[in-house]
Structure 1
Amino acid sequence: MRLPYVPNPPVDLDAAGRAVLSQILARRGASGLISLDWALLHSPIIAGGWYSFFGAIYSGSIFLHDLLELAVCRVALLNRAWYQYDGHVRVLARCEGFDLVKLKIQWAVLRYADAMTKDIAVHDTVFRDLRNSGLNDREIIELTLTIAAYNGVSRFLVALDVGERNSKPTVIEATDPSNSSSS
């Protein structure tokens, strides 16, 4: 990371900071804090807001979890946010398998994530395909918010090199034949 992580365990936290730390530890469970936590805890109140916001995306969303993780992984891949990608691809791998019934929705989600991430403005045909994929208005709102939020996450992670993963290729990048320099 470009800045030092907060000490382990964090020191000099006021009562509000200690409360946020307790909430993060409860959320992480036995795995404990991760590099993202150590970075965010420089600003405990903002870290608390961060975890409330992303907790709401995961616990309050009706959007299918595998499609949400697919969108998050796509954003991370496009932004070369390897730390984010590595964490979420593991979650995606544990999701139920893809099937032909969901294929239309999956492609629409990927195209929408691509447009929001690379172009920001979403072309009408991409949005129409998403709309025609079978998602309802609430699901589209939740998907849009998730993609936008995780674009913010990847930009935070890459700018500060959280997890020290941005200078190292991820497994996908290292094994992608299109990235081969041999001719």
Structure 2
Amino acid sequence: MRIPYARSSPPSPTPETLAIYSRIRARRQPRPLIPLDLALLHNPQIADGFNTLMGAIRTQSSFPLALAELAICYVAVLNGAVYEWTAHAPIALRAGVRREVLEVVLEGRWRESGVVGADEGMVLEFTEQSTKSVKVEDELMERLKARWTAQQVMELTITVGGYNMVSRFLVALDVTESNGKTMEMPAKL
């Protein structure tokens, strides 16, 4: 990592920082704090806000989980965030993303592959437009609104935006020393 990781316990414990560390640990259970947490904990208040936002995106969304994970994986591919891909590709597969879909996303040939379904294609198109140019075309937004509720369109949007934030943070600081490594398909589950 380009800066040292923060300690896994607060260097100057106060009731507030102890509570923050406790909330982050609770979200990660049964796992320990991960490198992303240790990068963020240089500022516990920012880490706490990040934890709350990303926890809600991950667990409080009504948008279909498989499609959300597909979007997260595509954000990782578009931004070269190896750690994000490594963490989320297995989750995507367990959530129901078909292996052949994840493979063509990783290879950058999802449009011409013939294996991507209509909903998957809309999510991938949205993710690409939002990530690469920020502006999403009106025509695509109308298709999304015709398919999902306003809440779900918002949830897809915050998922893509949130994981763009994550990938940019991971890559800029080289969290887990993953920059320059190859993104690979997870082993068969």
Q: TM-score, normalised to structure 1's length?
A: 0.85
Question: In 2, distance between residues paired with 1:141 and 1:97?
Answer: 21
SS at match of 1:30: coil
Q: Is the 8 A contact 2:70 2:97 kept in 1?
A: no
Q: Which runs of 5+ in 2 are unaligned?
A: 102-115
The match for 1:142 is: 155
Q: Of 158, 167, 170, which aligns to 1:157?
A: 170
Structure 2: which amino acid aligns with 1:159? A
The match for 1:92 is: 92
Alignment of 1:18-167 (within 5 A): 18-98=18-98, 103-132=117-146, 134-167=147-180
Q: Is the 8 A contact 2:3 2:173 kept in 1?
A: yes
For each residue in 1:153-180, what CA deviation from the matched residue of structure 2 results, as whole angstroms up to 9, or x when unmatched?
A: 11111111111101222225xxxxxxxx
Question: In 1, distance between residues paired with 2:13 and 2:21?
Answer: 9
SS at match of 2:5: coil
Q: Give the superposition deviation at 1:9.
A: 4.2
The match for 1:179 is: none
Structure 2: which amino acid aligns with 1:158? V
Question: In 2, distance between residues paired with 1:113 and 1:58?
Answer: 17
Aligned residues: 169
Q: Give the superposition deviation at 1:71.
A: 0.7
Q: Give the superposition deviation at 1:129.
A: 3.2
Q: Give the superposition deviation at 1:137.
A: 1.2
Distance change in 2, residues 1:41/1:123 (3 Å)? same
The match for 1:175 is: none
Question: In 2, distance between residues paired with 1:33 and 1:68?
Answer: 23
Q: Give the superposition deviation at 1:77.
A: 0.9
Distance change in 2, residues 1:114/1:55 (3 Å)? same
Q: CA RMSD in A?
A: 1.9
Q: Give the superposition deviation at 1:54.
A: 1.1
Q: TM-score, normalised to structure 2's length?
A: 0.82
Q: Is the 8 A contact 2:25 2:32 kept in 1?
A: yes
For each residue in 1:32-76, what CA deviation from the matched residue of structure 2 results, as whole angstroms up to 9, or x when unmatched?
A: 111101101111111111111111112221111111111111111
Q: Which runs of 5+ in 1 are unaligned?
A: 173-183
Question: In 2, distance between residues paired with 1:143 and 1:164?
Answer: 29
Question: In 2, distance between residues paired with 1:106 and 1:14?
Answer: 46
The match for 2:6 is: 6
SS at match of 1:171: coil
Please say which of residues 1-10 and 42-51 is displaced more in the overlay.
1-10
Structure 1: which amino acid aligns with 2:167? S
Question: In 2, distance between residues paired with 1:63 and 1:8?
Answer: 33
Q: Is the 8 A contact 1:16 1:45 kept in 2?
A: no
